[in-house]
Chain A
């Protein structure tokens, strides 16, 4: 059972650079290289494929945030880091579902990642808060703000898409939406309902 996966692991340095440059190829390669490792771990410890997918993707988010904040030192292998984070997250979830967490079968070495998990949890709260606030401002506000700030569409395009008579009207609408988002986001700390 405890069979190591035979696979050549490409240079971690290349991965780090790719992550910093938001390279889609890097993400693709990262996914293909390391997902099997996490799949093996989760499947061997009372999880299914969907669990593995969730846990792996969350771990990648942790890795990305760590690399992008400039805190990632190549003292450990990328694989070790991802594996340790995924392992921690999965054990947490198992405990949360009050399932058995003794007898964990391990496949890789582990490094302590408690700090990273803690930081990730804080970020996750902010993420959910933003998601909630965007959900609450509703349409068309959500799409207008996403189009302008996330998708980089111009005011003119937004104006046409939503059928505003001129760009000034669209701009006013965007301003109102932004104010509402601001209000909801900054006061919304204690009203988060988790949608699952």
Chain B
């Protein structure tokens, strides 16, 4: 056994040209004398060549996936396949006539308003204001009664069901029940449950935590959980650009809440390079929620915000999530953790994206 591993070491050194002249000559001699060894060298060389080709192609494929994820396919599609529909062609044909007609209409309307004095009539304005005041008052009343209602519902519920000590947000990482959230959400927990938007809750176990990146990987261990067919979103490998429009869905209340914003800095709290700064409204409970770009790629995980500063929330970069996943010791994974490679959200409107996505986002309840 020992001699065989040694032989492989020697073959590898030989093929990588790491031997000195003397060793090399000795090894060449050995090859000539023992056809068995010669055969081994050739076989090893072939295998390594194939393995390298395989590795290179795999890398190329992964890089291309990356680039593809960063493209705006819908826009390119528009560019190469202009589909002049009927409306467009009609517009082109009658554009000049329409604009003449429109200007005539504008002149006529403004002229009439000027002539009748409506345009500068103060009374018209005060009427308008009064109307608005009334409306807003009504809304306030409704809101107040609603608040009262919510409180009423909440009180008895609290006395019977333990809602958990802390809460956060998490989202599905794979179709077979791996979920990711923040480490600080599950830190020090006795047991953790997650609840989807339908209200079904599942027990999860903590598979892996990475306190440095503030990431925790959970796995659903509830027999009631049925694996998804596939996930609609992918996790972006490359970093995102400043100014990119982003949104998140989280559970600062018992209902999923949408927050929309933009990426405001490439580094997080006091220059932390593992995080982005995002200008987005988030509240306690949003931690662990996915940060998505317009194409439905997960680009980060919401992790916190700065208290003394307006509009500075932070999100861990998705590349560090991938790094954390890579670092999971293989034997702590009971099932394969294979990430989704197909994004079916790109090109959809935001409402459609959210509708498709909300089944994969969970409230994390920690006891």
Contacts and interface: CB of A to CB of B under 8 A. Distances in A.
- Verify that A and B bind, or say they do not: yes
Interface of A: 3, 5, 24, 27-28, 31-32, 35-37, 39-40, 43-44, 49-50, 53, 57, 60-61, 64, 123, 126-127, 129-131, 134, 139-140, 143, 145-146, 149-150, 161-163, 171-172, 175, 178, 181-182, 185-186
A129 B46 CA distance: 13
A163 B64 contact: no
A163 B59 CA distance: 27
Interface in B16-75: 43-44, 47-48, 50-55, 57-61, 63-64, 67-68, 71, 73
Contacts of B57: 61, 127
Q: Chain A interface secondary structure, helix, strand, loop or mixed?
A: helix
Contact of B67 (A28, A39, A143): A28
22 contacts: A27-B60, A28-B67, A32-B67, A37-B80, A39-B80, A40-B81, A44-B81, A60-B60, A64-B60, A126-B53, A131-B54, A139-B330, A143-B330, A149-B48, A150-B51, A150-B59, A161-B327, A162-B330, A162-B331, A172-B5, A185-B47, A186-B47
Interface of B: 1, 4-5, 8, 43-44, 47-48, 50-55, 57-61, 63-64, 67-68, 71, 73, 76-77, 79-82, 327, 329-331, 342
Pairs A-B, 8 closest by C-beta atoms? A40-B80, A150-B55, A130-B54, A31-B67, A175-B5, A57-B64, A36-B76, A140-B330
Contacts of B71: 31-32, 35
B65 to A, nearest CB: 8
A149 B51 contact: yes
A127 B53 CA distance: 8
A49 B47 contact: no
Contact of A43 (B1, B58, B61, B80): B80
Contacts of B331: 140, 162-163
